[in-house]
Amino acid sequence: MWKLRNQWARRNLTPFQLGELGMRVKPLIAEENRKRQACGQGGVLLTQQVGEANEDTTRHENETLGQIAAESGVSRETLRRIEHIQKAEREGRVSPSIVASLRDKKSNITVGGVFKDIKKVEKDAARRKELAALSDDAKKLPDTISLHHGDFLKDYTKIPKGFVDCIITDPPYVNEWLSNYADFAIAAEYVLKPGGFLVAYVGHIHLDKILAQMTPYLDYYWIMCLEHAGHTAAVHSRGVQCSMKPILVFQKPPKTMPKRYFGDVIKGSGREKDAHEWQQGEIELIQIFEPFTDPGDVVLDPFMGSGTTLAMAKKLDRRAIGFDIDETNVAIVKGRLS
């Protein structure tokens, strides 16, 4: 039987390392328990019972983990989480550097934290798969919604010139996309009606570059602020604890007033990421739709992701057009809106 009674060893190993040791011998302990429980009186092994389909695997699993927990000082629930993390590492769903941090006594990364992150990714992936599957059985999209699989920056002429009342979108924040804002503004200027608005979530660090690229083609109108609900993010390169996201408002000339007055601070409703990693909240979007659009207006999201902007347009009786370069996202949105 595996033993780890050396207190010095326990003190100098992290919970993850202790769990790893336990997982190495788990098959041996499980087999030993199974044989013992399959023995009849006098210790004779009833081989015909070994491996029978009606074996209570859950009970045996709990007993095995209980023994490992008693010897390692790591709880049974933590052992289950460690086993899940190991499986995710083997399948390439968690970074080896993260797992290495779990073996470092100086690291503040915990088994519980890594397990929670993995489960969230798994839940999001399952939700995306579910939404994509819905598109196979989906009825025809409403006539007020059209979806396009393609790159808006290249395919924007699929939309008639001057057809769109308002663009509401969340472009990629990755550095590789930064040089695309000029092309984005050119395409937006083409599809927008005169006086039409473009409202875009953007990152903080490159605001100057974004404005420099877009203002030759669209007029800068205002900046709004989305206040994050209940969380902040550290921007280490600037030494900032960030609790808001900028939203830039541009307009295609001539300069006109929006439909209604708007507040430039939007209270966040919490992060909705069940269908796409960049998904924004629907409650937040209402505060953009109301001042910049009317029922019947055409709203475009050229980087629609999971289609939250289009879903809001449908709820508020706006017409909607969506583009996405990822075919899976198009399927997800079709399933969601049909």
Tens-place pLDDT, residues 1-49: 445 555 545 667 898 988 888 888 888 888 887 777 767 544 444 444 5
Q: Residue 237 has what pLDDT?
A: 85
For the stretch 262-314, pLDDT in tens is: 999 998 765 544 444 434 567 889 999 999 999 999 999 999 998 999 999 99
Last residue of a domain, one of 125, 155, 173: 125
Q: Is residue 268 part of a domain?
A: yes
What does pTM read for this prediction? 0.64
Asked if residue 48 belongs to a domain, the reply is yes
**Coil, helix or strand for 162?**
coil
Specify whether 36 is located in the same domain as 83: yes
Nearest to 196 by CA among 187, 207, 205, 183: 187
Query: Are 238 and 99 contained in the same domain?
Result: no
Q: Among residues 290, 296, 309, which one has the least CA distance to residue 144?
A: 296
Q: Is there a single domain that holds both residue 35 and residue 118?
A: yes
Last residue of a domain, one of 125, 155, 184: 125
Residue 209, both tokens = 């570059």
Number of domains the chain is built from:
2
pLDDT band at 181 (very low <50, low <70, confident <90, very high): very high
Percent with pLDDT over 90 in the chain: 46
The tokens describing 335, both together, are: 């399933």
**Residue 56 falls within a domain, yes or no?**
yes
Residue 135's pLDDT is 56
Name, in order, each residue with C-beta under 8 angstroms of 222's C-beta and a sequence gap of 6 or more. 249, 264
Could you report the per-residue pLDDT of 223-271, keeping only the tens digit for each? 999 998 766 778 888 899 889 999 999 999 999 999 999 999 998 765 5
- Its domain, for residue 197, covers 140-337
Asked if residue 323 and residue 300 are part of one domain, the reply reads yes
Q: For the chain, state the CA radius of gyration.
A: 27
16 and 97, same domain (yes or no): yes
